[in-house]
Structure 1
Amino acid sequence: MLKQPLETERFWIRELNEQDVDGMFELDSNPNVHAFLWKNPIKTKEEALQTIRFIQQQYIEHGIGRWAIIDKQTNEFVGWTGFKFITTPINGHVNFYDVGYRLIERYWEKGVATETTRACLSYGWAHLKLTEVYGMCHIDNLASKNVLQKCGLKLIEKFILDEMPCYWFKTTKLATANY
């Protein structure tokens, strides 16, 4: 669990809570955000609340889950970042840590994902004692591919996830020491 918020130059990173429902709804109801995510945006704030509760359950069950990104200047919800412990098989792997992020569209192309992902990786190595982390993205999502690579994850291979072509990335603590 994240005992206290992480801080980057521009953002606070903290556990999601039910007060994030409006931001989560704005995020996940946007079809553009879901362009590379099975094109299935949510339609109600109740669905956003269910997502938050699902992630909160991951905090309880696995001690980890995606975290809210909060703009330090405006206190606005920007999106989420961080780790998810994957317990179902994906690309021949199970019981692994996936690093990911999802941002409200007006925050795209501002370095938010890179800044917050680097902070999460540093926290993961130092406090969670992770030894390796994986990442994945749709092969047409060049922005996400670039973020993962800027953060030190290496492209390993292509694979198919639920009929969607994806890239598979991996990094270790040693590999990201200079990022």
Structure 2
Amino acid sequence: MTFYIETERLILRGLRTTDLDGMFELDSNPEVHRYLGNKPVKTKAESQKMLNSIINQYKERGIGRFAAIEKATGNFIGWSGIRLNTEYNMNGYTKYYDIGYRLIPKYWGKGYATESGKAAVNYAFNVLKLTKLYGITEMENQASHNALLKIGLHYVEDFYFEEEQLDLRWYELKKENYG
């Protein structure tokens, strides 16, 4: 599958093996993992495994996170988009589509999570024809909470994710409430 979405300031496209350096910069940063269980990767091999997993999701599930590229510079700034989660039982759900984003810190505070997230929601409802979309954030991550609300998701409840020992928030957006 080929994914390509343009927003005002971003290009969202399928992740490629050539994104390895950007993925490593992103996921080796402890600040990025502050609200993700504090488990940054230590080697490029770990980032390569993650990248391969996402590329495999495109083939197996028809969707996976998108590379986020800043138009003005052509820089890889992180990833954003939709995935079909089948790996975790999360808040009682075992198969669901969620929206997420992860950006390199120098690109925080610019509205890129919201901008890319809105494009991903549009893609979810108008291209994938989904009826419901979920979001998850760590309870202390106020910036991510705000971005999910700006994207249009609605806070539902807090829950504890036993597998990673994290206090999380659960969000949802139904297609009939979109737009």
Tell me if TM exceeds 0.5: yes
Q: How does 1:90-169 map to 2 (within 5 A)?
A: 90-161=90-161, 162-169=164-171
- Residues 16-45 of structure 1 show CA distances to partners (whole Å, capped at 9, x for unaligned) of 001101110110000000000010101111
Q: Which amino acid aligns with 1:157?
A: E
CA contact (8 A) 2:24 2:41 kept: yes
Rounded to whole Å, the distance in 1 between the matches of 2:137 and 2:55 is 23
Contact kept, 8 Å, 1:152 with 1:171, in 2: the verdict is yes
8 Å CA contact retained: 2:3, 2:66: no
Preserved CA contact (<8 Å) 1:30 1:41: yes
Is the partner of 2:39 in helix, strand or coil?
coil
The residue that corresponds to 1:171 in the other structure is 173
1:4 is displaced (CA, Å) by 4.2
Within 2, Cα distance between the matches of 1:93 and 1:117? 21
Query: C-alpha distance in 1, partners of 2:58/2:4?
Result: 14
TM-fit CA distance, 1:174: 2.4
Alpha-carbon distance in 2 for matches of 1:110, 1:73: 13
CA distance in 2, matches of 1:35, 1:4: 29
C-alpha distance in 1 between matches for 2:28 and 2:36: 12
* Contact persistence 2:20–2:44 (CA under 8 A): yes
Structure 2, unpaired ranges of 5+: none
1:69 is matched with 68
- Provide the C-alpha distance between the structure 2 equivalents of 1:125 and 1:68, rounded to a whole number of angstroms: 20
> 2:121, 2:133 → 1: CA distance?
8
1:176, distance to aligned residue in structure 2 (A): 2.3
* TM-score normalised to structure 1 length: 0.96
Structure 1 portions without partners, runs of 5+: none
Q: What code does the residue aligned with 1:137 have?
A: T
Aligned partners of 2:177, 2:32: CA distance in 1, in Å?
Answer: 30
Task: Give the superposed CA RMSD.
Answer: 0.9
Distance across 1 between alignment mates of 2:98 and 2:137: 11
Q: TM-score, normalised by structure 2?
A: 0.96
Which residue is 1:47 aligned to? 46
CA contact (8 A) 1:151 1:176 kept: no
